[in-house]
Amino acid sequence: MTPKIAIRDVNKQFGQGAQAVQALQHASLDVADNEFITFVGASGCGKSTLLRIIGGLETQSSGQVLLDGAPVTGPGADRAMVFQHYSLYPWLTVLDNIKFSRQLAVNQKDRTSVDVERASGRADALLSLMGLTAAAHKYPAQLSGGMQQRVAIARALMSKPRVLLMDEPFGALDAQTREVMHDLICHVRRLEQVTIVFVTHDVEEAIYLGDRVVLMAPRPGRIDTIYPVPLPAARDQDMKLAPAFTGLKREILNRIRDTAGMKTDLEQLQKLSGLAALHA
């Protein structure tokens, strides 16, 4: 079966000569239709770069990304992105933010009244799905961070994307709000039948949400290890205490530490504090 997303030997270099950064080297991965893939890894290992390449916001130096077998050549309504910062239009209400998604605006000149009606129906359905009905006529500044992010997700879903690309979407939220968002996004995924590629710094979040966790490593940015998550498809918060969950979390955290060069940093620090003790 054709994968939903096929990442084929993708390389990305920023800059030239001594300034060159190899942000991605030989990245290859197949993502199945309706799969939830999570990416973790040390800062600077190329997670956002890879996500932006899939989104068509960045071009690779070599290699290919295929969506349903067709090469990605730029952004499109079939892929929607959600970032850490909600980037809502502050002058529009919640409902208008959802209705006037950028992807829809592109096609606005060709829209008929039937399209507009259909869009209104979908906006209402998304408001209800995201628990935002009561906030429909509020402005972003009147909402909590968690609610603003729900608006951003509803807006991303408005164009019925086949793929949802999320870059640390819950990074700015507190732990309790984040748990609510986790269960919400699992529900959205089941209802909307959307393939999700999700970048996070939080290993627990990556395991809880993911069918597979992809660990990336820096210098050069690359895919290091792919961990299938040994949990039932329908997740609940209690699973975070299961040995299969905690064991995988420990394994991934250790591997991040090994690949990030943090151990060497720590050894240097210990040496330095040893030296400081000698001079005291």
Ligand X SMILES: Nc1ncnc2c1ncn2[C@@H]1O[C@H](COP(=O)(O)OP(=O)(O)OP(=O)(O)O)[C@@H](O)[C@H]1O
Residue whose CB is less far from ligand X, 21 or 92: 21
Residue whose CB is less far from ligand X, 147 or 256: 256
CA contacts within 13 A on the Cβ side of 158: 30
Of these, 25, 36, 45, 48, which contacts Mg ion (CB under 5 A)? 48
β-pair partners for 187 = none
Residue whose CB is less far from Mg ion, 48 or 60: 48
Pick from 12, 30, 38: which is nearest to 167 by CA?
Answer: 38
Binding site for ligand X (CB under 6 A): 14-15, 21, 23, 43-49, 221
Is the Cα dihedral 242, 245, 249, 251 positive or negative?
positive
75 makes contact, choosing from ligand X, Mg ion, none, with CB < 5 to 8 Å by partner type, with none
Least spacing, CB of residue 58 vs ligand X, in Å: 8
Residue whose CB is less far from ligand X, 219 or 249: 219
Q: Which residues are CB-contacts of 134 (< 8 A; sequence separation ≥ 6)?
A: none
Least spacing, CB of residue 60 vs ligand X, in Å: 12
DSSP-derived secondary structure for 203-256: HHHHHHH-SEEEEEETTTTEEEEEEE--S-SS--GGGGGSHHHHHHHHHHHHHH
Least spacing, CB of residue 43 vs ligand X, in Å: 3
Token pair for residue 49? 């770069």
Residue whose CB is less far from ligand X, 167 or 231: 167
Least spacing, CB of residue 203 vs ligand X, in Å: 13
Pick from 77, 43, 79, 85: which is nearest to 169 by CA?
Answer: 85
Least spacing, CB of residue 44 vs Mg ion, in Å: 8
14 makes contact, choosing from Mg ion, ligand X, none, with CB < 5 to 8 Å by partner type, with ligand X
Cα separation, 152 vs 184, whole angstroms: 13
Binding site for Mg ion (CB under 5 A): 48
